[in-house]
């Protein structure tokens, strides 16, 4: 699953405006640190991407996992009657909903450190029992499917199938600040063909239109991390004249064609040498691509490379060169402040670019929060497309 990541999370305060359900996003900066001579966030993400490739080979579609150490966006949902609350990552890079189960073993450290679902406490619980296994390479999640009422904001979804995680071996989930994952990708990559929650919202006529949208706040000094809206978008946050839907090239992830990447404003010096598939992934912190191109980007913006990581002078962020992504005939430009993250160590602060290079990379490129934070992003199911709209100042 490449997902689990960001270290900015979403937490569930919600409000209802014009029939739209808003979930407030919150964030924490915990986990942003250096460990010895290694950049922990980078190495964690690299191993998680390797897990994604293993999954891709096993399932044929791929479910991915994201970097924990950049900022985790999470939000509160409820399962059962009365609702049992869980903090979950809202992830457009996967399709399944899962939370830890109270039936997990006491030796399961990841499970013990998070909230757990107790089926016996719910009046609307329906047993399913089908076994579900997801292999991550350096970790895994296994358990069984259950059915219960899902609440998110003011929405109540009846008979939602989800996974109760019984086993979470390894260290992948132990330090995660979220309990589980709320997949928002297409049903085609849902493990065991479980209907994703958003599609049940559509089926049960719970939202005005089959659209959801994300707004991320990237200011690390603020606890408010933005919001996700189910059923529409907030026109107060972006320029409505800048809505240019990008058609999807595949309905599995939110995938489209990335035409070029250049380290300039004009999109002249293309580093891709031809279009390639890319996905918009709210569950991944960085922009992920092949190691050679990522290295080229880092060097061209003025970063120094350290074991695959781009490091810049924290005092020179505003002077870094812009990076332009050409998508569907339009230019989307990131400034230094958009693609650089500050990592606090014990004795110093290091500024690292939000690009992760992978050796033996397999497409698609992943445009995570380092890219999405610059725009208001709209995901449309009926007219399969994503929209990256310019935020208002």
Cα dist from 388 to 38, 155, 261, 331, whole Å: 34, 26, 16, 11
Phi-psi domain of 270 (left: phi exceeds 0; alpha: psi -120 through 50; beta: other): beta
CA distances from 390 to 36, 42, 215, 270, 372 (A): 39, 29, 11, 23, 11
By the 8 A CB rule, do 355 and 298 touch? Answer: yes
The 10 Å Cβ neighbour count of residue 313 is 12
φ/ψ of 69, rounded to 5, equals: -100, 30
Task: Give the CA distances from residue 261 to residues 23, 226, 270, 281, 336, in Å, rounded to whole numbers and listed in that order.
Answer: 33, 27, 5, 18, 15
Say if residues 210 and 382 touch (Cβ distance below 8 Å): yes
Dist. CA 106–CA 339, nearest whole Å: 40
Residues belonging to the active site:
91, 281
Tally Cβ neighbours within 10 Å of residue 58. Answer: 14
Q: Are 126 and 111 in contact (CB under 8 A)?
A: no
Q: How far apart are CA 323 and CA 186, in angstroms?
A: 29
Separation of alpha carbons 269 and 255, rounded Å: 24
* 385: β partners: 247, 380
């Amino acid at each position: 699953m490449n997902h689990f990541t960001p270290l900015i999370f979403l937490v569930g305060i919600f409000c209802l405006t014009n029939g739209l359900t808003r979930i407030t996003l919150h964030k924490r900066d915990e986990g942003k640190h250096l460990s010895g001579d290694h950049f922990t966030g980078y190495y964690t993400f690299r191993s998680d991407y390797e897990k994604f490739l293993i999954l891709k080979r096993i399932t044929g579609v791929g479910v991915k996992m994201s970097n924990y150490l950049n900022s985790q966006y999470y939000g509160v949902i409820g399962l059962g009657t009365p609702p049992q609350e869980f903090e979950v990552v809202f992830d457009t890079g996967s399709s399944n909903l899962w939370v830890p189960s109270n039936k997990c073993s006491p030796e399961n450290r990841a499970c013990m450190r998070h909230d757990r679902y107790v089926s016996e406490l719910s009046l609307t619980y329906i047993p399913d029992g089908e076994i579900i296994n997801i292999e991550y390479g350096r970790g895994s999640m296994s358990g069984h499917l259950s059915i219960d009422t899902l609440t998110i904001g003011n929405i109540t979804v009846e008979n939602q199938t989800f996974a109760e995680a019984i086993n979470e071996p390894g260290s992948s989930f132990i330090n995660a600040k979220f309990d589980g994952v709320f997949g928002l990708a297409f049903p085609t990559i849902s493990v065991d063909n479980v209907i994703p929650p958003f599609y049940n919202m559509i089926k049960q006529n719970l939202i005005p239109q089959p659209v959801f949208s994300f707004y991320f706040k990237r200011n690390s000094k603020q606890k408010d991390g933005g919001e996700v809206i189910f059923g529409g978008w907030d026109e107060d946050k972006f320029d409505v004249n800048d809505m240019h839907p990008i058609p999807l090239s595949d309905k599995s992830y939110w995938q489209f064609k990335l035409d070029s990447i250049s380290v300039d404003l004009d999109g002249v010096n293309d580093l891709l040498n031809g279009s390639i598939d890319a996905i918009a992934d709210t569950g991944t912190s960085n922009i992920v691509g092949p190691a050679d191109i990522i290295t080229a980007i880092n060097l061209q913006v003025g970063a120094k490379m350290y074991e695959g990581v781009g490091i810049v002078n924290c005092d020179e962020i505003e002077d870094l060169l812009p990076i332009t992504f050409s998508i569907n005939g339009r230019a989307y430009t990131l400034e230094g402040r958009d693609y650089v993250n500050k990592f606090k160590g014990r004795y110093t602060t290091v500024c690292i670019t939000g690009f992760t290079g992978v050796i033996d990379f397999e497409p698609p490129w992943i445009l995570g929060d380092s890219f999405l934070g610059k725009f208001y992003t709209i995901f449309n199911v009926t007219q399969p497309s994503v929209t990256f709209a310019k935020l208002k100042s």
